């Protein structure tokens, strides 16, 4: 395969500056929302002492999981030797860093006391999965930065495969750690499951690739670069496989719970009589995030269908994380198993939650930060190939 030539985007058009201005406004709104919540206290949000993780955590977890999965494109190229994906590896690494930055920014600003992160970074409780993730997230930056260096520096190209293998293993461990945050919470019946770790891994593949497809299509179109059907068809088929895999693991997760007698009430809440959560599960997660993308990806071979399917995967993914995180907290916590508990503190009552404007603004600010960092990086450094036309990549697909 001929050497791929990369270049920066020009980034001088009114549209580019309008994009940055819009993203900048969302970032400022997110910072303002974080200040408002910290200054007044979290009682101004929809969160409570029963729902302590709200919409910002939904977006933060989604972005962190997607950051791990978007690196899959680069891994396929370097680790598995698929030359077709090599021109896409730089953009894959860039999105991994920017999505993680957006997710962690939301996560830190939603803590209420973000300055106390210094305590978490200097005093470790290794019995806590949260302490482990401090190392996993910061290490991910170093590993991906090293991986990108082996791609950019021609003298280091021979080390791209071992660096890619190291990054591949690291991101699997990172996503396992993120899923284990919930899987290790034995006090919460909807969370306590070893299946959450592999479920989060396949979720990351699907979410990350969906974001990658949309960013790649937008960047090539707005910068006037060719994007051939060979690359797009391969990405479309791969996305379809990941979406189907997520549906399979979700089915296994719920069937496993249905097999366990003590989990029947949890499953009835999540799948049938839990109010908004069953609706988000069946309509948002299964229909919009699963069945509809599969129909678009394998039934309609067009670019609009591919972009629409990727957008549906993202929307369905947000619904899936919302049901998992917030629905898992809303379900009444079982304090004393096999005992009847009666008190005035809402025992056995489903916790109410409605997202507030500050929470939504902070969440949108994190997404905007990730996209703004991506746009600026594309202008400053050569992450995008000059051409992905069929004639330039066709030999690699043979």
The DSSP code sequence of 128-151 is: SHHHHHHHHHHHHHHHHHHHHHHH
pLDDT at res. 398: 40
pLDDT at res. 344: 62
Lowest mean pLDDT across 37-46, 126-135, 324-333: 126-135
Distance CA 158, CA 239 (A): 29
Superfamily of domain 14-332+350-380: Formate dehydrogenase/DMSO reductase domain (1.20.1630.10)
In our burial notation (b when 16+ CB lie closer than 10 A, e otherwise), range 316-353 reads bbbbbbbbbbbbbbbbbbbeeeeeeeeeeeeeeebbeb
- For residues 50-67, give the mean pLDDT: 94
What six digits make up the tokens of 124? 């470790």
pLDDT at res. 124: 75
Q: What is the pLDDT of residues 360-384, one digit of tens each?
A: 999 999 999 999 999 999 999 999 9
- Give the percent of the chain with pLDDT over 70: 94
Lowest mean pLDDT across 13-22, 144-153, 258-267, 278-287: 258-267
Say if residue 397's pLDDT is above 50: no
Tokens 């678009």 locate to: 296
| Residue 129 Cα to chain centre, angstroms | 19
Q: What is the pLDDT of residues 145-174, one digit of tens each?
A: 999 999 998 888 888 899 999 999 999 999
3-state percent breakdown (helix, strand, coil) of the chain, nearest 5 = 75, 0, 25
pLDDT at res. 235: 95
pLDDT at res. 207: 97
Q: What is the mean pLDDT of the chain?
A: 89
> Nearest-CA neighbor of 386 among 24, 91, 29?
91
pLDDT at res. 260: 87
Say if residue 396's pLDDT is above 50: no
* Domain ranges, ordered by start, for the chain: 14-332+350-380
Lowest mean pLDDT across 108-122, 133-147, 249-263, 289-303: 108-122
């Amino acid at each position: 395969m001929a050497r791929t030539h990369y270049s920066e985007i020009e980034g001088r058009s009114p549209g580019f500056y309008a994009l940055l201005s819009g993203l900048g406004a969302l970032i400022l709104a997110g910072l303002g929302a974080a200040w408002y919540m910290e200054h007044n206290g979290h009682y101004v949000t929809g969160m409570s002492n029963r729902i302590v993780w709200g919409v910002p955590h939904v977006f933060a977890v989604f972005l962190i999981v997607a950051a791990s999965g978007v690196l899959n494109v680069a891994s396929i190229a370097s680790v598995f030797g698929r030359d077709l994906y090599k021109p896409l590896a730089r953009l894959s690494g860039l999105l991994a860093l920017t999505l993680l930055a957006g997710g962690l920014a939301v996560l830190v600003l939603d803590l209420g006391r973000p300055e106390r992160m210094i305590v978490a970074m200097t005093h470790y409780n290794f019995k806590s999965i949260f302490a482990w993730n401090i190392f996993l997230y910061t290490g991910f930056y170093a590993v991906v930065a090293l991986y990108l260096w082996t791609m950019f520096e021609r003298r280091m190209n021979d080390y791209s495969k071992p660096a890619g293998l190291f990054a591949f293993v690291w991101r699997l461990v990172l996503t396992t750690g993120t899923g284990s945050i919930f899987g290790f919470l034995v006090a919460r019946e909807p969370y306590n499951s070893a299946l959450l770790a592999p479920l989060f891994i396949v979720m990351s593949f699907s979410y990350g690739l969906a974001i990658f497809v949309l960013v790649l299509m937008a960047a090539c179109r707005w910068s006037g670069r060719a994007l051939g059907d060979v690359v797009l068809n391969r990405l479309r088929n791969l996305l379809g496989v990941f979406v189907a895999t997520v549906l399979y693991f979700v089915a296994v997760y719920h069937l496993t719970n249905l097999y366990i007698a003590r989990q029947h009430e949890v499953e009835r809440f999540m799948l049938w009589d839990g109010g908004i959560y069953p609706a988000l599960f069946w309509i948002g997660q299964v229909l919009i995030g699963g069945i509809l993308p599969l129909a678009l990806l394998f039934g309609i071979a067009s670019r609009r269908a591919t972009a629409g399917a990727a957008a549906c995967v993202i929307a369905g993914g947000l619904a899936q994380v919302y049901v998992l995180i917030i629905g898992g907290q809303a379900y009444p916590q079982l304090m004393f198993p096999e005992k009847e508990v009666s008190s005035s503190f809402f025992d056995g009552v489903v916790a109410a939650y409605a997202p507030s404007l500050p929470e939504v603004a902070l969440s949108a600010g994190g997404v905007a930060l990730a996209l703004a960092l991506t746009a600026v990086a594309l202008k400053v450094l050569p992450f995008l190939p000059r051409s992905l036309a069929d004639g330039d990549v066709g030999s690699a697909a043979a």
